[in-house]
Amino acid sequence: MMAVEAPRKSFAAALGLLALLALLHNAVAKDPVCYDTAPKPRQAGVLNVHLVCHTHDDVGWLKNVDEYFVGSRQDIYKAGVGYIIDSVVQNLQENPDRTFVYVEMAFFSRWWDEASEKQREAARTLVKNKQLTFANGGWCMHDEAAAHFVGMIDQTTRGHRFLMENFGYVPKTGWQLDPFGHSATQAYLLGHDLGFDAMVLGRSDHVDLEKRKLEKGMEMLWSPSVTFGESKTILTQIRPDGNYQPPPCFCFDFEKCKCDPFQDDENLEDYNVEQRVEEFIEQAILYNNTVLGDDILFLMGSDFQWENAHVWYKNLDKLIHYVNKDPRVNVFYSTPEDYFQAKRNSNITFPRKTDDFFPYSDGWHSYWTGYFTSRPTSKHYAYIMTSLLQSARQFEYYQGRSLKDSDALLNLENAVGIVMHHDAITGTERQAVADDYAFRLHRGSVSAVSVINEGLKQVLSRSGEAPVGAIVPAGPEILTRPGSSAHAASSGADFVQCPLLNVSSCAFTEDSSKAGQNFQVAVYNNMAQTRTDHVHVPIGRTSSPPAVFDGELKPLVSQITDLDPSVRSDASQVQDLAFAVVVPPKGVAVYYVMYQNLPQNAVPAQMSKIRQVLANEPVAKISGGDLAMTFDGASGAMTSIENTKIGTSVNSSIGFVVYNSTVDNSDDGQSSGAYIFRPSGTLDVLNRGARGLNLTMVSGPVFSEMRQTFSSWLSLSTRVYEAKAWADLKWRAGPLPIGDGLGKEVSLRISSAVQSGKEFYTDSNGREMLKRKLNYRPTWNLEVSEPVAGNYYPLTAALSVSDESSEMAVVLDRACGGTSLKSGDLEFMVHRRILADDGRGVGEPLNETECGCTNCDCAGLRVAGTTSLVFGTAEESAQARRRAQAIKEAPLVAAFRPVDAMEAVKPLSGIQGKFPDNLSLMTFHALDSSTVLLRLAHMFQAGESAVGSKPATVDISTLFPGRKIEGVQEVSLSSNRVLNPDLGTTEVTVSAMQIRTFLVKHGGAQGAATAAY
């Protein structure tokens, strides 16, 4: 009994204690706080603080896009974007005052695909209520230095289409928080022309940033276009902290930040409301000192934050409630649109900016100019895949397919969109992520190539006569012949393509030639102008050369050349077969490479003459087309370039400069890395012996070239063709040596007597050419701390220098960095291999190897490219440069298949009539069976060319032979807004540097390509 009685007494005592505690609690307890987050009326003299909640979600960087979305590989980085969106959508519903802005549709569309109908309906309601908004709205937040304008527009259009189809939503604000510098093209084209009312940028040079903060110039009217000037102006903000973080210690993501929450229970320890309120107001006042007006924008969020939106919103609700008790400020949930509307309503006179934001630096020795070139093979691959997508879209139309009923191009659309991301095309991702991007592009290309090959087979298998403009029988295809005669059915074999033609590798053509097997070459041109170019086909070494014929069975002159040993390790077993091609606009031409059953008129391919230039030869010269180059036999160096068409010449030389990479691991030091270019002297790379360079001359009926060997890992071939206005510089670099423990950064430099002084011109994302000046910034005094890196600018298409009588330019096949460090010089970087990390977050050296590893004993990556060199008067050069650029942007598609004998096949074209030479068919994309998204882009800027800069007029119906045009709408650049619901005509005019976008409605086949108007 005693043992039982004790617990009863203890239990009674416990009950009494609980009752006492309850009484004490009731004596001090307060009613739950109802936080007031409703927006307050504006009052004069009160600082209005707009809280814009956001997350910055890279579509690949340290992890690949899939890993970031699903939250895998937490050992690399803690992030799961799918959970972020889940959490935000759920918590927005708990308070109608809460808002959130999202940006990357590559992630949001994936969340949408997986979401339940309940989640989708919640998201629709939140969008309708303006709680969930979207800024930028592209597939990614694209880069602005290495991205080409076609890819930038494509990825933006893809995102905008998703938002329109699912929410009827049109983004109003540009949101480029993380790119490492900002381009002129972004302002007038990817800002103004998208219909954005304003734009938020994250980064500006550290000197520019401090100057703007002092002058309250963080917000400006930005109009950097040479052509459009103030007619295309956009209200722009640069973040005063140089990034996109919340104010110091107001981050409420406890996984990634160490900030205290709002603790407003006075009965607990660490009550901090007054302290936190005062800290917030201090930050607001500091911020307000950098901008004009009584409105400031606080970005609440950062990289992959908001996975626990409950914590964020709970603390922000408290912040708004308590801070608004202070009469100095009015803080509230807001949106980018509301913020900029408040700015416009304030009648502020904003400062103006007419230049761009390159190059960007965040320290005296920290110029972010290395990423302009990082991962050059990845940059080239993205460039090629963007063009392949345009060709495949055209073939979908020819085959009667469309975006609505075919997903054949979906993988490539997604991949190209993702790769425009500012940690993808930039080369600033980790190696494993770079591999993932390449895989996605390859996977997409397989389907795209299949679409093209299938289309070629269908088109070339037609027989029977058809007049110009009629639909060719046997299906919905609409390729038409420039001529009116028939062609016979071609071989029924499937086509194959060779993705490594750029490095003289094609298993099909090599094996076929070794076996003496004839083959057909179908060449497709996605441009809207007739294309005269050259095809190079690798063939096996055989005893008898082949003969080449065009599709009308006319024999062609062709040339066989032994490969330079630097091209392939088995170069002695492979040769290059070259011949000229003429391909109609938006069309295909057929050629035959014949080993057997040759007709009597066959012209066997001629072997190139190859010889070593002797050291005692004072002059060695190659010429072709408009250009001639002279070399000095004693030194092996180029000495002059002449434009034979106009009789102008200039002393010139060409060679490589190799910069050693800085390695500085001190606490405040700066190394070269994926982002940063910081050279430390140069390396002498000449293969010196009795002479300076090993010089080899190649001559033949199709092309001639001079091969210069600088070292075992650097070589250059300068090539001229009989029918080109420019020369091709075929450079090869790698494996870059690192035995001295230093990274290497290699540039190609052309030195000339062109009297350009300190001025040079660089393109902006493939559009306008912008004037640059050595050691100069237009809006602040530059203190030269890095004389090389600080003068590098992004190049996507071209670099030029000029004087009163001539211009010299290079046209590129990929994005890179470039400059002119001396009068008449053109310098552009081609390869980088670096052994240190630059401390900007990637945590991995940019050490690309042939093994695909970064920290291993393996040879470095080999890189090859082709850069075109233009020289002439300003007018001649502008015409040639823009033509060369158009050809680089739209490489020919060559497909091969075996044939036993030749059959006549006349060239086919998808255009009937003349298309202006200064106008580009940028986009031709079938959205459904009767609607085509059409973009026309003028190639020239104002004042660039007396001829080329004139307006271009075209009849849209010429692009639809055999179809009846039923209506033409003009729409915005991304096609999400109607500008003119009915043009009432098919004739349109496009002015200098303008891009016009249309939705063209067409009907079925008709006897001729007439319009409904």
930 and 945 within one domain: yes
Domain that holds residue 882: 609-889
- C-alpha distance from residue 243 to each of 149, 277, 600, 779 (Å): 24, 23, 71, 20
* Residue 579 within any structural domain of the chain: yes
In contact, 390 and 412? CB cutoff 8 Å: no
Please give the model's pTM, rounded to 2 decimal places. 0.93
- Tell me, yes or no, whether 833 lies in a domain: yes
CATH number at residue 127: 3.20.110.10
Q: Distance between CA 581 and CA 119 in Å, rounded? A: 56
Cβ neighbourhood burial of 228 (10 Å; 0-12, 13-18, 19+): buried
Q: Note the pLDDT of residue 855.
A: 82
Give residue 564's pLDDT. Answer: 86
Please indicate, yes or no, if residue 949 is contained in any of the structural domains.
yes
pLDDT of residue 691: 57
Residues 636-648: what's their mean pLDDT? 95
The whole-number pLDDT of residue 466 equals: 34
For the beta carbon of residue 292, count every other beta carbon within 10 angstroms.
Answer: 18
Q: How many CB atoms lie within 10 A of CB 410?
A: 12
Q: Phi and psi dihedrals of 560, rounded to 5? A: -110, 130
Same domain, 585 and 613: no
DSSP per-residue letters across 676-699: ---EEEEE-----SSSSSEEEEEE
What's the CA gap between 57 and 80, in Å, rounded?
10
Q: How far apart are CA 104 and CA 84, in angstroms?
A: 13
Locate 332 and state its tokens. 């509230």
Domain assignment present for residue 51? The answer is yes
Regarding whether 865 and 1000 lie in a shared domain, the answer is no
Q: Identify the band that residue 569 occupies on the pLDDT scale cut at 50, 70 and 90.
A: confident
CATH of the domain at 572: 2.60.40.1180
124 vs 118: CA distance, rounded Å? 10
Answer for the pair 831, 774: CB distance below 8 angstroms, yes or no: no
Segments of 803-959 assigned E as strands: 807-811, 816-819, 826-833, 863-872, 893-898, 908-909, 919-928, 931-938, 952-955
Cα–Cα distance list, 620 to 635, 640, 700, 800 (Å) = 11, 11, 15, 26
Return the structure tokens found at 834. Answer: 């670096």
702 and 765 fall within a common domain = yes
Residue 5 has pLDDT above 50, yes or no: no
- pLDDT for 401 equals 83
Cβ proximity of 291 and 255 under 8 Å? no
Tell me: do 109 and 209 sit in the same domain.
yes
Q: For the ranges 91-95, 535-539, 612-616, which has the lowest average pLDDT?
A: 612-616
Q: What is the DSSP string of 778-805?
A: TTS----S-TTGGG-EEESSEEEEE-SS
778: closest CA among 239, 202, 184? 184
- Is residue 878's pLDDT more than 90? yes
Q: What does the pLDDT read at residue 922?
A: 98
Distance CA 247, CA 284 (A): 8
Whether residue 795 is contained in a domain is answered as yes
Q: Looking at the domain assignment, is residue 401 inside a domain?
A: no
What is the domain-level CATH number for residue 787? 2.70.98.30
552 pLDDT above the threshold of 90: yes
Helix (H) or strand (E) run with residue 537 in it: strand 531-540
pLDDT at 1005: 58
d(CA 882, CA 866): 16
Here the tokens at position 1011 are 């319009």
Q: What is the pLDDT of residue 791?
A: 99
pLDDT on residue 687: 53
Contact (Cβ atoms closer than 8 angstroms) between residue 1002 and residue 964: yes
Phi-psi region of 870 (alpha: psi -120 to 50; beta: other; left: phi over 0): beta
Q: How confident is the model at residue 690 (pLDDT cuts 50, 70, 90)?
A: very low
- When pLDDT is cut at 50, 70 and 90, the band that residue 405 belongs to is confident
pLDDT per residue as tens digits for the range 883-914: 999 999 999 999 999 999 999 999 999 999 89
Contact of 252 with 51, CB cutoff 8 Å: no
Average pLDDT of the residues of the chain: 92
Q: What is the structure's pLDDT at 485? A: 35
CB atoms within 10 A of CB 808: 27
pLDDT in tens, 299-329: 999 999 999 999 999 999 999 999 999 999 9
Whether omega for the bond prior to residue 359 falls within 30 degrees of 0, making it cis, is: yes
Separation of CA 756 from chain center: 30
With beta carbons less than 8 A apart as the criterion, state whether 726 and 882 touch. Answer: no
Task: Assess whether 784 and 823 both reside in one domain.
Answer: yes
Q: Is the peptide bond preceding residue 891 cis, with omega within 30 degrees of 0? A: no
Q: Are residues 559 and 645 in the same domain?
A: no
Q: Sign of the CA dihedral 102, 103, 106, 109? A: positive
> Which of 296, 329, 353 is the last residue in one of the domains?
353
Beta-sheet strands, E only, within 565-665 = 574-583, 587-594, 606-607, 609-612, 620-624, 627-631, 638-643, 648-661
- Whether the per-residue pLDDT at 987 is higher than 50: the answer is yes
**Which CATH number is 997's domain given?**
2.60.40.1360
Q: Which of 93-107, 477-491, 865-879 shows the lowest per-residue confidence on average (mean pLDDT)? A: 477-491
State whether 780 and 668 are in the same domain: yes
- pLDDT tens per residue, range 809-859: 999 999 999 999 999 999 999 999 999 999 999 999 999 999 988 888 899
Domain count, the chain: 4
Residues 272 and 209 in one domain: yes
Query: What pLDDT is stored for residue 853 in this prediction?
Result: 86
Residue 88 has pLDDT above 60, yes or no: yes
Within-domain flag for 895: no
Those residues whose C-beta lies under 8 Å from the C-beta of residue 526, and which sit 6 or more positions away, are 387, 390, 391, 394, 586, 890, 893, 921
Considering the domain boundaries, does residue 976 fall inside one? yes
Long-range CB contacts for residues 664-672, cutoff 8 Å, separation at least 24: 665/836, 670/363, 670/365, 670/366, 670/838, 670/839, 671/834, 671/836, 671/837, 671/838, 671/839, 672/370, 672/743, 672/745, 672/834, 672/836, 672/838
pLDDT in tens, 154-163: 999 999 999 9
Q: Which residue, of 327, 353, 379, is where some domain finishes?
A: 353
The pLDDT assigned to 565 comes to 85
Please check the confidence at residue 27 and state whether its pLDDT lies above 80.
no
Are 106 and 215 within one domain? Answer: yes
Per-residue confidence band for 686, with pLDDT thresholds at 50, 70 and 90: low
Q: Are residues 876 and 942 in the same domain?
A: no
Judgement on whether residues 672 and 728 belong to the same structural domain of the protein? yes
Distances (CA, A) of 978 to 195, 299, 959: 11, 32, 22
| Mean pLDDT along residues 596-624 | 94
CA distances from 583 to 138, 435, 529, 592 (A): 35, 35, 9, 14
Confidence at 16, pLDDT banded by 50, 70, 90: low
Q: Which two tokens stand for residue 1009?
A: 């390509």
Q: Which two tokens stand for residue 376?
A: 């050059």
pLDDT band at 70 (very low <50, low <70, confident <90, very high): very high
